[in-house]
Amino acid sequence: MFAFIAAILATGFQAYSQYQAGKAAEAEGKLAQQLADRNAKIKEREGEAEVQRGREEALQRKKIGDQLEATQRVGFAKGGVLGVTPEIVVEKTGEDTLTDRMTILRNAFLNQSFRESEAANIRFGGAVAKFKGQSAARAGKFKAIGTLLTGALSLGGGAKTPTKGGGLSKTSPLRTQSGRRTIGSGSRNFPQKSFGTVTTGGANRPTVTRRI
In a domain, 9, yes or no: yes
In a domain, 173, yes or no: no
- State the pTM of this model: 0.55
In a domain, 124, yes or no: yes
Give the residue numbers spanning the domain of 28. Answer: 2-156
pLDDT exceeds cutoff 90 at 1: no
Q: How far apart are CA 143 and CA 17, in angstroms?
A: 10
Interval 47-69: pLDDT, tens: 999 999 999 999 999 999 999 98
Interval 124-182: pLDDT, tens: 999 988 888 888 888 888 888 888 888 777 776 654 544 444 444 444 444 444 444 44
Q: Contact at 8 Å (CB) between 83 and 62?
A: no
Strand partners, 189: 180
Could you give the angle at the alpha carbon of 156 between the alpha carbons of 151 and 159, nearest 5°? 130
Q: Which residue has the higher pLDDT, 42 or 200?
A: 42
Pairing of strands 180-183, 186-189: antiparallel
- Split into its structural domains, the chain has a count of 1
Q: Contact at 8 Å (CB) between 115 and 47?
A: yes
Give pLDDT, residue 73.
83
pLDDT exceeds cutoff 90 at 202: no
Mean pLDDT is lowest, of 4-8, 38-42, 204-208, for: 204-208
Query: Alpha helix (H) ranges present in the chain?
Result: 2-78, 84-157
| The dihedral sign for the CA sequence 35, 38, 39, 40 | positive
Spatial CA neighbour of 66 closest among 115, 37, 101, 19? 101
Give pLDDT, residue 143.
82
Q: How far apart are CA 90 and CA 98, in angstroms?
A: 13
In a domain, 32, yes or no: yes
Give pLDDT, residue 184.
43
Residue 41: what residue type?
K
Q: Which residue has the higher pLDDT, 147 or 201?
A: 147
Interval 16-35: pLDDT, tens: 787 888 888 888 888 988 99
In a domain, 48, yes or no: yes
Give pLDDT, residue 56.
94
Q: Contact at 8 Å (CB) between 133 and 29?
A: yes
Give pLDDT, residue 37.
92
Average pLDDT of span 104-121: 92
The chain-wide mean pLDDT, for the chain, equals 76
3-state secondary structure of 187: strand
